[in-house]
Structure 1
Amino acid sequence: MNKIFLTLVLSLCLVGLYAQSIRILSYNIHHGNPPAESGKIDLQNIARIITESKADLVGLQEVDVRVSRSQLIDQAKELAALTGMSYFFSKGIDLEGGEYGTVVLSKHKIVGNRRYDLPMAVASENRSLAVVDVELPGGKVISFANTHLDLKEENKLVQTKYITELGDWYDRPFILVGDLNARPDSKPIQILEEYFVRNTKTNGPTHPNTKATGEIDYIMVGKHTPFRWTAYKTLPESTASDHLPLFAEITLD
């Protein structure tokens, strides 16, 4: 009986040793412009939201780098400095003499990064996918991807197919976040669900920032990744952007 008890205790200890919790934030920051204050740029508030979420990995969309409308600030570099995190910027388009795209922030060491131009079926604004490899405490390496999909349905279909095929290459844990500009029952999300798991129990609308009615921002995990949802929710920050910040905590088993 004592041997059985000791075996059970040791097994639980090993599970606790190898299971790792990861906090994730996905946020379309509207280039740091509070929607109710035209022309104002408030990166301090965005940085506060990120810091208070205690996220380990952050995917930001609609980020300006040296763009005139946002005071020529390198927002990727500035937000990394304000939060004390490492960063990787992925350009979507050139804009007003600068660049506009997405950013990944990480509390942990980034050991690899890649940028992919997403395909287009019809002419539109170029979109990209940022993928970083992050080394967690203990040495486990995971991949984290961030994107902002096109508004046009034809492009979302080819872009989600591309992401699904790309994600299928990975053996390590793979997390996808972003503003996908698609509702949960749409075909683009159904394509992603062939490879990724999305939360369907505690999810909710993420846009617009007040009286949100549409769920278009997501945090998903590759189906091959053994994990559990610990938390999944929007944060009550309705003035900093036209989207709500989306937070999740997962446990890797």
Structure 2
Amino acid sequence: MAYNIHHCNPPSKPGMIDMAAITHTIGTQNPDLVALQEVDVYTDRSGAYNQAEEIAKKLQMYYYFGKAIDYGGGEYGVAILSKYPLSEEKVYPLPTQPATKGEPRIIATAKVTLPDGLQIRFGSTHLDAQKDSMNRQLQIKQIEAIASSEKLPFVLAGDFNAPPGSTVIRQLDTHFTRTCQDCPPTIPVEHPNKAIDFIAFRPRSKFRIKTHQVISETYASDHLPVIAVIELLP
């Protein structure tokens, strides 16, 4: 699953934090792995909670939080949730042109050991949101450089802030295979018209796509969650 959780703030209720709604949305789909974006840890706006930890605890999952920035007395970034043990957790900073004054972005990765002993690398990322795609282009190229040195099968998920056909997603498609081609839209939650949240993998020969869908959950966040079932081939 890929899910931008909007720091657990339902857009229809400004200032309110509803972790239970996010937890319920994820739990209903029962995913093995989740890439979360816009996660708060001990911030003024969200309270004395590590949101990744709290959600993982309720779902009985392992977790790893990757800080992108300091924010509101705490931290803000992306996270990984997993039913299976995580190791080799790491945060990689992604490039931003200083002149753009773009918010620092990262990719968080971890090695996941599956019940049959097979291992994969799983990554959660959230690319730059500015209208100009300069930073996103730099960031996706950096992610590809990271992935190119990876010996394990690699699953990447997140909010790319770019739709299919854009320069950024065309670049993504040169190194990864997305779980959708005619991708259902993920924003806005009411009458969605643009797909910017994706799940992708490499190498193509190691995976088989079984299903891809966008979940119509319009309360919990300003993004719709994306879930795909992919088979890891031995």
TM-score by length of 1: 0.88
> 1:167 aligned to 2:123?
no
CA distance in 2, matches of 1:225, 1:249: 16
> 1:49 aligned to 2:25?
yes
Residue 243 of structure 1 corresponds to which residue in structure 2? 223
Bigger Rg over Cα: 1
Residue range with higher mean Cα deviation, 98-107 or 151-160: 151-160
CA distance in 2, matches of 1:66, 1:36: 23
- Residues 41 and 70 in structure 1, CA contact (< 8 A), matched pair in contact too: yes
- Residues 202 and 233 in structure 1, CA contact (< 8 A), matched pair in contact too: no
> 1:86 aligned to 2:62?
yes
- The 1:129/1:151 distance shift into structure 2, 3 A limit, reads same
Residue 138 of structure 1 corresponds to which residue in structure 2? 116
Other structure's SS at 1:112 match: strand
Among candidates 125, 128, 131, match of residue 147 of structure 1: 125
Residue identity (%): 41
Other structure's SS at 1:211 match: coil
Residue 41 of structure 2 corresponds to which residue in structure 1? 65
Give the partner amino acid of 2:160. L
CA distance in 2, matches of 1:242, 1:87: 23
Give the partner amino acid of 1:221. F
**Residue deviations 1:115-139, cap 9 Å, x none?**
1011112331111100010000111
CA distance in 1, matches of 2:117, 2:103: 38
Matches within 5 A, 1:2-13: none
CA distance in 2, matches of 1:129, 1:39: 27
> 1:96 aligned to 2:72?
yes
Other structure's SS at 1:72 match: strand
Count of aligned residue pairs for this structure pair? 229
- Residues 63 and 75 in structure 1, CA contact (< 8 A), matched pair in contact too: yes
Residue 126 of structure 1 corresponds to which residue in structure 2? 104
CA distance in 2, matches of 1:176, 1:74: 23
- Residues 153 and 203 in structure 2, CA contact (< 8 A), matched pair in contact too: no
CA distance in 1, matches of 2:39, 2:185: 22
- Residues 88 and 111 in structure 2, CA contact (< 8 A), matched pair in contact too: yes
- Residues 143 and 172 in structure 1, CA contact (< 8 A), matched pair in contact too: yes
CA distance in 2, matches of 1:71, 1:130: 23
Other structure's SS at 1:236 match: coil
**Residue deviations 1:73-129, cap 9 Å, x none?**
211111111111111000111111000000100000112211101111233111110
Residue 39 of structure 1 corresponds to which residue in structure 2? 15
> 1:234 aligned to 2:214?
yes
Give the partner amino acid of 1:234. V
TM-score by length of 2: 0.95
Other structure's SS at 1:49 match: helix
- Residues 174 and 225 in structure 1, CA contact (< 8 A), matched pair in contact too: no
Other structure's SS at 1:182 match: coil
Other structure's SS at 1:194 match: helix
Residue 6 of structure 1 corresponds to which residue in structure 2? none
CA distance in 2, matches of 1:112, 1:204: 33
Aligned-pair distance for 1:192?
1.1
Aligned-pair distance for 1:224?
4.6
**Residue deviations 1:180-221, cap 9 Å, x none?**
000111111111111100134452100111100110000001
CA distance in 2, matches of 1:171, 1:45: 37
